[in-house]
């Protein structure tokens, strides 16, 4: 994606169109279709079978397909929850695609939410907003040296 540097503010500006998902390949409509199937399916494996049939058949690609699905699900669910929480007109709406589709009276919920919650996009998670995924902090393991003292007596002495 093209980025430009603002010399006055010293920040970069992304030229992400409204219909593209941030942090994922594809459009928001494609991501929404996958999440909608996952919301209505009995299990994630069943949803994966519908959206990516080849991945569900192979035992090696099933775990990677589930990770692919979970990345989309977790990002969209977090973004929907943030939108319902941050936008006053959506307070009494459940954070699901179906509920927001009915409330906003649109066919593409994620594209509409990007317009409705425009001022909050920096705080919302990807693929709807622009906040990067939280990174795990690497904790320095405290290494305790062994106790000081004489070696244990040898066997047979």
**% pLDDT > 70, the chain:** 78
Listed in sequence order, the residues at least 6 apart from 33 whose beta carbon sits closer than 8 Å to its beta carbon are 51
SS3 state of residue 3: strand
Which tops the pLDDT comparison, 122 or 54? 122
- As a whole number of angstroms, the distance between CA 67 and CA 76 comes to 14
Instruction: Return the domain boundaries, the chain.
Output: 25-120
Average of per-residue pLDDT across 109-125: 87
Helix axes 109-116, 61-86, angle to 10 degrees: 40
Is residue 127 reached through a cis peptide bond, with omega within 30 degrees of 0 on the bond before it?
A: yes
pTM value is 0.71
- Note the pLDDT of residue 142: 67
Helix axes 97-104, 28-40, angle to 10 degrees: 120
37 has pLDDT over 90? yes
**% pLDDT > 90, the chain:** 18
- Note the pLDDT of residue 136: 64
Which tops the pLDDT comparison, 140 or 85? 85
CA gyration radius for the chain? 23
- Note the pLDDT of residue 31: 92
Q: What confidence tier does 38 reach under pLDDT thresholds 50, 70, 90?
A: very high
56 has pLDDT over 80? no
- Note the pLDDT of residue 134: 63
- Note the pLDDT of residue 32: 92
């Amino acid at each position: 994606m093209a980025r430009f540097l603002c010399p006055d503010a010293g920040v970069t500006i992304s030229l992400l169109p409204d219909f593209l998902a941030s942090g994922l390949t594809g459009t928001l409509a494609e991501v929404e279709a996958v999440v909608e199937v996952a919301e209505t399916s009995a299990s994630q494996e069943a949803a994966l079978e519908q959206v990516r049939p080849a991945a569900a058949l192979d035992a090696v690609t099933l775990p990677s397909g589930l990770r692919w699905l979970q990345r989309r699900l977790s990002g969209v669910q977090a973004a929907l929850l943030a939108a319902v929480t941050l936008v006053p007109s959506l307070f009494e709406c459940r954070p699901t695609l179906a509920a927001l589709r009915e409330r906003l009276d649109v066919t593409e919920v994620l594209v509409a939410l990007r317009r409705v919650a425009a001022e909050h996009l920096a705080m919302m998670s990807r693929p709807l907003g622009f906040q990067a995924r939280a990174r795990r902090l690497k904790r320095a393991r405290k290494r305790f040296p062994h106790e000081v003292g004489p070696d244990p007596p040898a066997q047979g002495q």
